[in-house]
């Protein structure tokens, strides 16, 4: 694997040029996962014209923003696609994976075409129009995907972008605000949040968020004041749906590790805990999300191919 290391005043830049040939079936799952990831944390940029005011060719791109801790995943994605760039900010933990090269951009567009479920499909169709004109192609602009949510890894990609897992401890189980006079409570929650309206098109995001909430048999909470639609799952009865889906279509960011902690935490919910169990659930909580300091990336061995 070759890495061409470059830099400028603000960012470090490197490109990976290795890749492997995938079967059509494998690319289908990879396409669904990437579609969800891009619709959650991605940006599709289309130039206003084929040439700039200086008569130079302009180039569309697809980019995904992510935290520096997720670098192993995006290095893997680039390896699978056969190219791409990673930009690492020097001022914070923000990173960006950007696809500009025509060959790789065409590959990604063909992978995700027909797999979008959100208003971001408008940007996908615009970049297809741009590519068709530039390269004299006739890529068909496929409509919103209506497949059953549990039949592909789109939701895993979307949750990797915008979802999360949380464990809360109350009363005598609490770490910071322990109150021995209150019963201990373990709260395990899976959540997913979106804007009510898409920033670019002003189209409603409620339809696809409602579809996700229905899949997990939970309620969608909408706050017009904050322009937020929020889905939260803390009911143990829904655990089987969550477990079945993410076991079949695993998360690929470090949220997979939080998912495992969430599953273990569910074993301690709705029961009176021994001192040993209290110590265990406190230990689990203390190593989740931003408090996590150790990362195991073995789950990338099951990356979508």
- Per-residue pLDDT tens digits for 17-36: 223 334 454 568 999 999 99
Angle CA 203–207–211, to nearest 5: 150
Distance CA 208, CA 277 (A): 39
Output the pLDDT for position 13.
33
The Cα 250–Cα 138 span in angstroms is 34
| pTM greater than 0.85 (yes/no) | yes
pLDDT tens, residue by residue, 101-153: 999 999 999 999 999 999 999 999 999 999 999 999 999 999 999 999 999 99
Residues 211-222, mean pLDDT to the nearest whole number: 95
- Beta-carbon-side half-sphere exposure of residue 203 (alpha carbons within 13 Å): 13
User: What pLDDT does residue 178 have?
Assistant: 84
* Closest to 110 in 3D by CA, of 153, 139, 147: 139
Could you read off the pLDDT of 159-207 as tens digits, one per residue? Answer: 999 999 999 999 989 988 888 888 889 999 999 999 999 988 999 999 9
Residue 175: predicted pLDDT: 85
Is pLDDT above 50 for 2? no
Q: What is the pLDDT of residue 27?
A: 64
Res 11 pLDDT > 80: no
222-248 per-position pLDDT tens digit: 999 889 999 999 888 888 899 999 999
> According to the model, what pLDDT value does residue 16 have?
29
Say how far apart CA 276 and CA 260 lie, in whole Å. 20
Mean pLDDT of the chain: 89
- Per-residue 3-state assignment (H helix, E strand, C coil) for the chain: CCEEEEECCCEEEEEECCCCCCCHHHHHHHHHHHHHHHHHHEEEECCCCCECCCCCECCCEEEEEEEHHHHHHHHHHHHHHCCCEEEEECCCCEEEEEECCHHHHHHHHHHHCCCCCCCCHHHHHHHHHHHHHHHCCCCCCCCCCCCCHHHCCHHHHHHHHHEEEEEEEEHHHCCCCCCCCCCCEEEEEEEEEEECECCCCCCECHHHHHHHHHHCCCCEEEECCCCEEEEEECCHHHHHHHHHHHHHCCCCCCHHHHHHHHHHHHCCCCCCCCHHHHHHHHHHHHCCHHHCCCCCCHHHHHCCC
Classify 217 in phi/psi space as left (phi over 0), alpha (psi -120 to 50) or beta.
left
**For 36-71, b where at least 16 C-beta lie within 10 A, e where not — what string?**
bbbbbbbebebeeeeeeeeeeeeebbbbbebeeebe
Residue listed under structure tokens 């390896």: 79
CA-closest candidate to residue 169, choices 292, 291, 282: 282
Q: Alpha-carbon torsion 239, 243, 244, 245, what sign?
A: positive
Confidence of residue 6 (pLDDT cuts 50, 70, 90): very low
Task: Report all structural domains of the chain as residue ranges with CATH numbers, in order of start.
Answer: 3-135 (3.10.28.10), 162-302 (3.10.28.10)
Percent above pLDDT 70 for the chain: 91
């Amino acid at each position: 694997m070759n890495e061409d290391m470059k830099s400028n005043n603000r960012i470090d830049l490197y490109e990976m040029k290795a890749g492997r040939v995938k079967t059509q079936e494998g690319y289908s799952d990879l396409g669904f996962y990437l579609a969800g990831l891009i619709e959650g944390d991605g940006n599709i940029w289309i130039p206003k014209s084929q040439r700039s005011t200086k008569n130079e060719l302009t180039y569309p791109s697809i980019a995904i923003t992510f935290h520096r801790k997720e670098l192993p995943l995006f290095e893997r994605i680039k390896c699978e696609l056969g190219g791409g760039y990673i930009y690492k900010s020097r001022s914070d933990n923000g990173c960006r994976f950007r696809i500009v090269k025509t060959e790789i951009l065409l590959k990604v567009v063909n992978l995700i075409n027909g797999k979008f479920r959100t208003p971001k499909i408008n940007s996908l169709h615009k970049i297809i129009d741009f590519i068709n004109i530039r390269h004299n192609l006739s890529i068909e602009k496929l409509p919103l995907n209506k497949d059953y949510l549990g039949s592909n890894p789109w939701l895993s990609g979307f949750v990797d972008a915008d979802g999360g897992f949380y464990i809360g401890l109350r009363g005598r189980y609490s770490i910071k605000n322990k109150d021995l006079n209150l019963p201990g409570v373990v709260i395990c929650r899976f959540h997913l949040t979106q804007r009510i309206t898409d920033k670019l098109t002003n189209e409603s995001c409620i339809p696809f968020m409602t579809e996700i909430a229905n899949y997990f048999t939970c309620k969608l909470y909408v706050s017009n004041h904050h322009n937020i639609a929020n889905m939260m799952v803390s009911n143990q009865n829904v655990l089987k749906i969550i477990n079945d889906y993410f076991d079949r279509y695993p998360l690929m960011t470090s949220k997979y590790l939080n998912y495992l902690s969430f599953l273990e935490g569910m074993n301690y919910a709705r029961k009176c805990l021994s001192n040993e169990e209290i110590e265990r659930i406190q230990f689990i909580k203390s190593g989740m999300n931003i408090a996590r300091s150790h990362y195991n990336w073995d789950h990338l061995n099951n990356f979508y191919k």
